[in-house]
Amino acid sequence: MRPAWIAMVVALAGCEVLVSFEAAREREPQCNDGLDNDGNGLIDCADPACTGTAGCLGCGNGVRDPGEQCDDGNLIPRDGCSPGCAIEAAPRCGDGVLDPGEDCDDGNPNNADACVMGCHVARCGDGVVEAGIEQCDDGNTVSGDGCDAQCHLETCGDGIVEGGEQCDDGNRTAGDGCGPTCKLERCGDGTIQPAEECDDGNRFPDDGCSPACRVERCGDGIVQRGRGEQCDDGNTVSGDGCSVACQLERCGDGTLQPGEQCDDGNNASGDGCSFACQLERCGDGIVQPGEACDDGNTAPGDGCNPTCQFERCGDGIVQSERGEQCDDGNPVFGDGCSGTCQVERCGDGIVQGGLGEQCDDGNPGSGDGCSAACQVERCGDGVPQPALGEQCDDGNPFDGDGCSAQCVVELCGDHLVQAGLGEQCDDGNTVPGDGCSASCQLEVCGDGVVQSARGEQCDDGNTTSGDGCSASCQVETCGDGVVQPGLGEQCDDGNRDDSDGCVAGCKLATCGDGFVEQAVEPCDDGNTAANDGCSPGCAIERCGDGILESGPPITSIDVAWLATSCSTPRPIVWSINGAQVVAIEGDPETCTCAPGPRSVTISEPDILGLLINGPSSFAVDFSGPDHFLGWAVVTIHAGGTARDVVIYEGAPGAAAARVVNMCGGGFDADVPPQQVTQLVAAPEQCDDGNTSDGDGCDHACRTNDP
């Protein structure tokens, strides 16, 4: 606020000069603007300078004249109607007008200038930081709280000792007498400085670090009683009156000296080693501290036990002579040993919760609702209770795991499909072949089980054909009409006829396979060799075919048989190509099924000459009542080889095996004459393409034709 006039008094060398400056005065346009334009404290019409102006005529008379917004009968400003009779806004802080109660009003809400919130003059300690002047303002003018009395930030290292600082040397470097936290560096400050061996934060002796910050140790020549030293002779050698631990060497120093039985480091009795360093023990008749009694012995059962404690229930020692069954060191019930030192057990009629008992019915039996382990018996407790009707108990209340929630055994055939047991079906029985197997698995072709009732002939565990068992579980065999390459079949014509194009083993018929293919092969002797009766092309090699066969000569033939009779025997007659070659008388009546085989060798040229190259017939006759023939065979020997021609055998393979005993069957009675025709490979002397005699080459292909 400016005064209406300014006076300056200047005193110079005893002279006084008064200078006066006239201030600006209100003008008519300003007499109704609500402002003190000339700074004399009078506003608008209240200022004598505005008297008589158009805006002030009648203002303040209490009558609203033309041009007046209001007239409250006075020329007092800030009462709602200004001295210029204009309506005034309600006074407020920040309106730029200094109102009563305001220290200042700069017309803005900026708290960082000289007039802060509440229209108070900014000052240190008002809690508002004045920009450009204050570094901080914590609402007080107290130093030592981070913001000093002049509103400057207090920091260690600023060179000013403030707050809790003991020093401030303008830096935060250690080792210069003032530490990084502005604490004086000295022995006892807790920081080891150069030349210090230690610093434990104090300057007290006997705590390991001396007042001079040197490590206190036994052998430094100073008795550190606070560290338990009794002496210090400047060394750490024992045996010189002061031990290596700086203890006086004497009874009670913890070191066993000659004449001492013990030394426990003290001179007190009652701790196992007496004041005279003699062993104290239970049983010495002296009650030592810690002993409740000492009866001069260490025998139990006499009221004072071997450890010199009174014997009683709860002392942890079973005194059987005092009737104790147990003693667990306490008088508490429910921990296995009762308060009277009797064994607590399941079946004593007392539920011992501490022992995990759920019940106790006073007996050790199960099946009555309380088990032998004193657990409540129920389905699902893992113990089968037959007396409670349980068949099983697997310890849970679930179905499908072999034991139902009612403790009934779940099994295949109970009409319930137990998926948890791996059942795929359950038809209420364990009969296989009805679609659900005895193990409750769906019966299907390919499950590895032959279901005969379902028409399966086989089941190899898969549905693949060609491995011996078809996809429909039928046996794959040669002759079933299906070619099984996996079984080595070359063909399969659905029959067992070896005379067509597909022979035994389902092999394609070929010359030399041993099977005569009808309408194709006249013969097939199982090889493709010549001069053996059947040519390499499976044509019959015979006398008269115009081809001279020069095979090895026939050297002999054997006739062998097994026969018997239960009446007078008749001769057995052998024929080749219709000519009788030998008639052999039978043995006397034997009537046995094991008479033993007989044989005759024939090598006469005229008989061997009956064998013609090509088909030859062989016959045997032992017919008649009560005559029995087991087998009969002719063996042809030629070129070191032998070939059997079986004429008859009562049992398959009997002739080839030369069976000597046919009691098991095959000895046939009254067998009619038997004849077979076989190809014979006989050497030819000639072959003129016919079997006529008289042309130089006879019917047997001999050149001795007359």
- The confidence score (pLDDT) of residue 12 equals 29
Closest residue by Cα to residue 340 from 322, 313, 362, 315: 313
Task: State the average pLDDT over residues 593-618.
Answer: 90
Task: State the average pLDDT over residues 152-175.
Answer: 83
Say which residue the tokens 């791996």 belong to: 422
Structural tokens at position 153: 């930030």
Instruction: Check whether 13 has a pLDDT greater than 50.
Output: no
Highest mean pLDDT among 46-50, 343-347, 395-399, 600-604: 600-604
Closest residue by Cα to residue 7 from 25, 16, 36, 49: 16
Instruction: Check whether 275 has a pLDDT greater than 70.
Output: yes
Give dist(CA 132, CA 94) in Å, integer.
22
Task: State the average pLDDT over residues 225-232.
Answer: 85
- The confidence score (pLDDT) of residue 706 equals 53
- Phi, psi for 337 (deg, rounded to 5): -135, 120
Give dist(CA 125, CA 415) in Å, integer.
95
The per-residue pLDDT for range 127-149, each reduced to its tens digit, is 888 887 888 888 898 887 888 88
- The confidence score (pLDDT) of residue 245 equals 86
Closest residue by Cα to residue 469 from 438, 437, 480: 480
Give dist(CA 338, CA 361) in Å, integer.
18
Instruction: Check whether 20 has a pLDDT greater than 50.
Output: no
Q: Give the confidence band of 22 by pLDDT, cuts at 50, 70, 90.
A: very low
Residue 228, Ramachandran bin (φ over 0: left; ψ between -120 and 50: alpha; else beta): left
The percentage of residues in the chain with a pLDDT greater than 70, rounded to a whole number, is 95
Instruction: Check whether 23 has a pLDDT greater than 70.
Output: no
Give dist(CA 493, CA 508) in Å, integer.
10
Give dist(CA 597, CA 562) in Å, integer.
5
Write down the CATH number for the domain with range 554-680: 2.60.60
Dump the DSSP string for 138-166. -SS--SSSSB-TTS-B--TTSS---TT-S
Q: Could you tell me which residues come within 8 angstroms of residue 668 by beta carbon, excluding any fewer than 6 positions away?
A: 628, 629, 630, 650
Question: Within a 13 Å sphere around the CA of 349, how many CA atoms are in the beta-carbon half?
Answer: 1
Task: State the average pLDDT over residues 566-593.
Answer: 86
Closest residue by Cα to residue 33 from 92, 94, 97, 124: 97
User: 12-16, 143-147, 338-342, 376-380: which has the minimum mean pLDDT?
Assistant: 12-16
Instruction: Check whether 19 has a pLDDT greater than 50.
Output: no
The per-residue pLDDT for range 292-311, each reduced to its tens digit, is 888 888 888 788 888 888 88
Specify the pairing of strand 507-508 against strand 641-649: unpaired
What predicted TM-score, i.e. pTM, was given to this entire model? 0.34
The per-residue pLDDT for range 424-475, each reduced to its tens digit, is 898 889 888 888 888 898 888 888 888 888 888 898 889 888 888 888 898 8
Q: Per this entry, what is the length of the chain? A: 706
Single-letter residue type at 454: R
The CB-based long-range contact list for 581-585 (8 Å cut-off, 24+ gap) reads 581/607, 581/610, 582/607
More confident residue, 587 or 345: 345
- The confidence score (pLDDT) of residue 143 equals 81
More confident residue, 584 or 53: 584
- The confidence score (pLDDT) of residue 607 equals 92
Q: Give the confidence band of 397 by pLDDT, cuts at 50, 70, 90.
A: confident
Task: State the average pLDDT over residues 190-197.
Answer: 84
Instruction: Please state the three-class secondary structure of 199-242 as a single string.
Output: CCCCCCCCCCECCCCCECCCCCCCCCHHHCCCCCCCCCCCCCCE
- Phi, psi for 68 (deg, rounded to 5): -95, 135
Instruction: Check whether 9 has a pLDDT greater than 60.
Output: no
Task: Report the mean per-residue pLDDT for the chain.
Answer: 83
Closest residue by Cα to residue 504 from 488, 515, 512: 515
- The confidence score (pLDDT) of residue 55 equals 67
Tell me the torsion sign for CA atoms 586, 590, 594, 596. Answer: negative
Element (H, E) at 635: strand 627-638
